[in-house]
Amino acid sequence: MKTDSHTIDEIIEVAKKKNANVNEELIRKAYLFAADAHKDEFRASGEPFIIHPIEAAYTIAELGMDAASICAALLHDVVEDTGKKLAEIEKEFGKDVALLVDGVTKISEIKPKSKDMAEAENIRKILLATTHDIRVIIIKMADKLHNMRTLSSLSEKRQFEIARETLDIYAPIAYRLGMEKIKAELEDLAFKYVYPETYKDLSEKINQKKGERESEIDHFRKMLDDKLKENKIEAKIKGRAKHLYSIWKKMIRKNRPFEEIYDVLALRVVTKDVKGCYDTLGIVHQLWKPIPGHIKDYIAMPKANMYQSLHTIVMAEEGTIIEIQIRDEEMDKIAEEGIAAHWAYKGATHKGHPGQSGAATQSEKFDKKLSWLRQIQDWQTEEKDAKNFVDSVRVDLFQDEIYCFTPKGDVIELPKGATVLDFAYAVHTGIGDICTGGRVNGTFTSIRHILRTGDVIEIITAKNQHPTRSWLKIAKTSKARNKIRKYIQEMETIPVGHMKEKHVEISEDVKSIIEIDGVKKPKMIKLAKCCTPLPGDPVLGFVSRTDIITVHKIDCKNIDKITAEVKKKVKINWRGDVSTKMQLKVEANDRVGLFADILNTISATGTNMSEAKAKMVNKELAQVTFYAEVDDIDHLKDLIERIKRIQSVKRVYIGRMGM
């Protein structure tokens, strides 16, 4: 953390190091203009005001931004604080600089009306300014960073307010933009003012342990370094100092004491290229024992904020746990500077600077990664209503993570709105594929159940369960959705195996959910008992001499035998678009709680149901009838499968249609 002031010469020096052709003249002119405009102003600390824009500009230069950005950082408070007109800036420095200054000014101008709306309104303003030109938000971050570094001279009340705003708004935006270095510094600076006692307590504990920890890290760093050299892998290894706020958040999230969180050591390996990353991972796992379930490949699957790395957690000698991040130099830069690093590539490309091999690809990558910003712009024009706008932004970009637990206490991080099904896939793909529900804090729930932070989830599975298309509506995470899609694709190309299922017969009214090719007014349709087709399965109809159609799965082993006995074969299609109220009948051996179990199972899926009735068919057998509103054939199929799994249920079938 550096608080002593830089000079304009130092800014120029850094800017030139990043880009030899930077417009030095324009930057010097902006400096003189700002110094003159602010000449009678002083900061709360008593220092000349110009120190503030100079520091912001220095940060911008360090990020490798262009001359216009550096000028705008120098001029960012001129319009707001000194009464200079924007037109004057435009005249002196051009439209580009003027637009940037205007963008930063607009962010600062917002004065939230109610405390409740403050966060949402701020986020909205900032994002709108951002969609205009990404450089605006980067300059705003540099502005914020210096203000936070010099917060100590303000009143306690202002300190708290500004620090709170930083934690609520600016740090999350920095995170979303991948600007990890700035985010971490903002958080630690704000932490000190928002939670002064916790901060003090934690920093004391860290100071006490510092020496011991450093020598430990050094020991393991050297071990790994030797091994990498032995294998001729070129890499730099850094011991990572975790920042205070993230340690504290982790303590809360995992509900663990400081020692347990802090005793986990952290190393980062920066390699020359991607291949080096995977080679290093192999070496690490030869050297130390990986802890299962903690290897993450964010290189193949980058995070939404563009972050790429390999993560692993290993157990070294004497049970020491080490978290290791492995990435190449470019990924490392992006991991620390995020969107600013991308902009620097793109900026260089646009101005046609030499020495940027593969620049076009970089530029394309950048455009792709900025697509979410463009989405915001679309919403802005589509959604006139500010609240809707804020809601959509919140859901898609600022949805906070929730933290749930496995029965063993492992933490699973999910986006807000994630369901039991997402959790199952987050634990393991194999578990997701056969998930039938969950026990959330001891209560049975369906796969559709939405989770909350702190929930303890035990996943319930069944061997004959498998993903269906309707699961795509239930899963919120891309991981779960990808796995479900993959399963469905595979099942569409590989013939379905013979699943052992209870007998299901669908009554005559099955006509309503299937289309029959070539037979008018069949006397009856029934589903074959040998292969028990369900809605959605690929099937064929066999017409008997008495015009009864029996529906078999296309891969039924009896098909060859049947062919000789029937009049003809007909094409049968399930109607996938059935969105209707449908009568279902359930037959089961009567027992205490049967009716309740059936109703709970249905309502747990979120299915609307009505007119549920139960009656006794004979001494043992009960029949439950109800109407269910199904969205499509997969929903229906899912529902039938669930009911069939209820204890003592004998069969489920479809009653009358379209009521």
The binding site for Mn ion (CB under 5 A) comprises 77, 143
Question: Residue 338 is encoded by which pair of tokens?
Answer: 């995020």
DSSP 582: E
Q: How far is the CB of 73 from Mn ion (least distance, A)?
A: 9
- Chain-centroid distance of CA 112 in Å reads 29
And the tokens for 547? Answer: 């015009």
Q: At what angle do helices 339-350 and 134-149 cross, to 10 degrees?
A: 130
User: Which class for 55: exposed (0-12), middle (13-18), buried (19 or more C-beta within 10 A)?
Assistant: buried
Q: What pairs with residue 47 in β-bridges?
A: none
| Beta strands, E only, 424-476 | 435-440, 443-445, 457-461
Q: Least distance from C-beta 12 to Mn ion, angstroms?
A: 21
What is the number of the residue whose Cβ is closest to Mn ion?
143
Question: Pick from 437, 436, 439: which is nearest to 458 by CA?
Answer: 439
Closest to Mn ion by CB, 81 or 92: 81
Query: How near is the Cβ of 54 to Mn ion at its closest, in Å?
Result: 11
Question: Angle CA(227)–CA(291)–CA(298) in degrees, nearest 5?
Answer: 80
3 state SS of 103: helix
Looking at the Cβ atoms of 144 and 637, the one nearer to Mn ion is: 144
d(CA 254, CA 411): 7
Helix/strand number for the chain, H first, E second: 28, 20
Q: Of 173 and 217, which CB lies nearer to Mn ion in the complex structure? A: 173
Helix (H, G, I), strand (E, B) or coil at 654: strand
Tokens of 573: 């299609």
| Helix (H) or strand (E) segment spanning residue 565 | helix 559-565
Nearer to Mn ion, 143 or 422 (CB): 143
Q: Are 638 and 470 in contact (CB under 8 A)?
A: yes
What does the block give as tokens for 653? 């079938």
Least distance between Mn ion and beta carbon 80 (Å): 8
| Smaller CB separation from Mn ion, 77 or 187 | 77
Between 80 and 396, CB nearer to Mn ion: 80
**CA-to-CA distance for 40 and 34, rounded, in angstroms?**
11
Spatial separation of the C-alpha atoms in residues 372 and 125, rounded to whole Å: 16
The helix, strand and coil proportions of the chain, stated in percent and rounded to the nearest 5, come to 50, 20, 30
CB atoms within 10 A of CB 569: 17
Rounded Cα distance, 550 and 532, in Å: 11
CB of 41 to Mn ion, least distance (A): 11
Contact 442, 474 (CB under 8 A): no
Tokens of 446: 């369906």
Following DSSP, what letter does each residue of 248-272 receive, concatenated?
HHHHHHHT--HHHHHTSEEEEEEES
**Cβ at position 77, least distance to Mn ion in Å:** 4
Indicate the helix (H) or strand (E) that contains 24.
helix 24-37
Residue 66 vs 143, nearer CB to Mn ion: 143
Q: How far is CA 86 from CA 92, 101, 106, in A?
A: 10, 8, 12
Minimum distance, C-beta of residue 282 to Mn ion, in the bound complex (Å): 48
* Least spacing, CB of residue 630 vs Mn ion, in Å: 57
Q: Which residue, 77 or 121, is less far from Mn ion as judged by CB?
A: 77
In DSSP terms, 540 is beta-bridged to 552, 571
DSSP 3-state of 441: coil
Least distance in angstroms from the C-beta of 110 to Mn ion: 14
Nearer to Mn ion by C-beta: 163 or 281?
163
Q: How many CA atoms lie within 13 A of 353 on its CB side?
A: 15
The catalytic residues are 80-81
Closest contact distance (angstroms) between CB of 52 and Mn ion is 6
- Nearer to Mn ion (CB atom), residue 137 or residue 244: 137
Q: Is 432 helix (H, G, I), strand (E, B) or coil?
A: helix
* Side-chain-facing half-sphere of 341: CA atoms under 13 Å: 22
Q: How far is the CB of 76 from Mn ion (least distance, A)?
A: 6
Instruction: Tell me the H-state helices in 76-170.
Output: 78-82, 86-93, 95-109, 115-132, 134-149, 156-165
Nearest CB to Mn ion, comparing residues 77 and 597: 77
Residues 107 and 119: their CA atoms lie apart, in Å, by: 13
Closer by beta carbon to Mn ion, 53 or else 276: 53
